[in-house]
Amino acid sequence: MTWQVLNPYDQECIGSVDLVEWPLIDRWLDEARALHEDRRAWIPVHERIAILQRAGALMRERAETLAMQIAREGGKPLVDARAETSRAIQSVELCVHELFASGGRQIPMDLTEAGAGRRAYTFREPIGPVVAISAFNHPLNLIAHQVGPAVATGCPVLVKPAKDTPLSCKSFVEILYEAGLDEHWCRFVPCTNDVAEQMVTDPRTAFFSFIGSARVGWMLRSRLAPGTRVALEHGGAAPVIVDEGVSHENVIPSLLKGGFYHSGQVCVSVQRVFVPRAELPDFAAELAAGAEALRVGDPTEEETQCGPLIRPAEVDRVEAWVAAAVENGARLAAGGKRIGPTLYHPTVLVDPPRDAKVSREEVFGPVVCVYGYDSIDAAIAQANELPYSFQAAVFTERLQIADRCVERLSGSTVLVNDHTAFRVDWMPFAGRRHSGLGTGGVGYTMADMSPEKMVITKR
């Protein structure tokens, strides 16, 4: 069996990968467990550093090829695909940096009489075989975030890419091999969903890293073998509060980037914007004008700002959600139409019903909803009413409003005067509630994959 990889823009086949069946995965899991249990087989830290350094250098040499591959298989505009490639290289380099900075710590023992006469310290050990399942929207950098830390910490890793975007994952794994990593330590595992579930829930899996939908992530977590550790990264419906009197010139460009980057196919994409009711007509008109001006088309062209959705079925879904919102009272300020089978125009909806899907569920498409509010507290309450909690934002020139939003907005991160889709790869990145479990970011993932062991000596 094979996966045919289609260019999401023109639906032309650009490649294929052979699927891996369970008997081979079963053997690979046995190999991974054996590698972890045989300490003589562990790759010395200095060799892991050298492998990652060589991998980063190879990625730099092939940066334009990798970026074009991201654009062709994932539909991300080339300018953004180049930025993703640069971030993936930095993610690999961050793994090396974290290894230089990592280590154990001393634990004071004589804080009470019971501990007197003892010394204690910790050091880190690899947790064991890692199974990673990734998403389509950042097909190179997400893989770097999941596989790079496993290699760095000395964990054997099996990685299943998204069905739509396996080529970038395959390229990354092959670069690791070329850089000197023995293939037994990292396996490229495109497979069907039922085989993936068998791999994830196998008791030989020590750590499960998942990036994708909440429905799938929480289902798999419920079926993990006892003892398997897990990190889940899902999505949300990111809220942004705009305070009264803030210059729209400082807000609109940021929201256009945060809402329509990769056509909204980002887990922290700007989706719900709350604006003082008196300012709503002008604000919505300015945001709509910016959305209408965005260039939509072939992601491999330099001028393109918004590319296709990953599959035609996603265009159908977004079209249906927008149509339902308009039918039930939302005002369509921009967009609201498909451009052929694979593109959907950047869309701005004004005051859609609070029970509409565009208001309550993650759109994962080029749709930004704008709501009028009568008080900051009412805006915060509406922003917090969904079961998601990831990144939120506020635009304000008043310190007290910034402080109030930071304290009261539900989110693992609250950005002040910036959009919700901002991220750098060394910062903690975490969904709360339905939005995920655990903390992403290269250093945080490495810590999860290398738990501390403590030594206590009695004098």
Active site (annotated) includes residue 407: no
Which residue of the set 31, 93, 233, 314 is catalytic?
233
421 located within any domain? no
Res 250 pLDDT > 90? no
| Residue 426 belongs to a domain | no
Total domains, the chain: 2
Give yes or no for a contact between 283 and 255, defined as CB atoms under 8 angstroms apart. Answer: no
Is residue 189 located within the same domain as residue 321? Answer: no
Which CATH number fits the domain that encloses residue 27? 3.40.605.10
Instruction: Tell me, yes or no, whether 429 lies in a domain.
Output: no
- Over residues 393-414, the pLDDT tens digits come to 999 999 999 999 999 999 999 9
Q: What is the CATH number of the domain that holds 244?
A: 3.40.309.10
pLDDT at position 254 over 90: yes
pLDDT of 46 higher than 90: yes
Whether this model's pTM surpasses 0.85 = yes
Distances in Å between the alpha carbon of 121 and those of 115, 130, 370, 443, 451?
A: 13, 26, 53, 21, 13
Q: Which pLDDT score is estimated for 57?
A: 98
**For position 427, what pLDDT does the model report?**
85
State percent of the chain over pLDDT 70: 100
Given a cut of 90, is residue 459 above it in pLDDT?
no
Please indicate whether residue 267 is annotated as part of the active site: yes
- Residue 435 scores a pLDDT above 90: no
* Percent of the chain residues topping a pLDDT of 90: 95
Residue 103 confidence (pLDDT) above 90: no
Q: What is the pLDDT of residues 196-235, one digit of tens each?
A: 999 999 999 999 999 999 999 999 999 999 999 999 999 9
Q: Is residue 425 part of a domain?
A: no
Torsion of CA 237, 5, 311, 305, to 10 degrees: 70
CB within 8 Å of 76: residues ≥ 6 apart: 70, 84, 137, 262, 299, 307
What is the rounded average pLDDT of the residues 327-340? 95
Q: What's the one-letter identity of residue 325?
A: A
Q: What is the mean pLDDT of the chain?
A: 96
**Of these residues, 95, 169, 191, 267, which one is catalytic?**
267
Same domain, 159 and 259: no
Is the per-residue pLDDT at 289 higher than 90? Answer: yes
Residue 404 lies in a domain: yes
Q: Does 169 share its domain with 225?
A: yes
Task: Give the tens place of pLDDT for each residue, 337-377.
Answer: 999 999 999 999 999 999 999 999 999 999 999 999 999 99
373, burial (CB in 10 Å: exposed 0-12, middle 13-18, buried 19+): buried
Tell me the residue range of the domain where 243 lies: 238-416
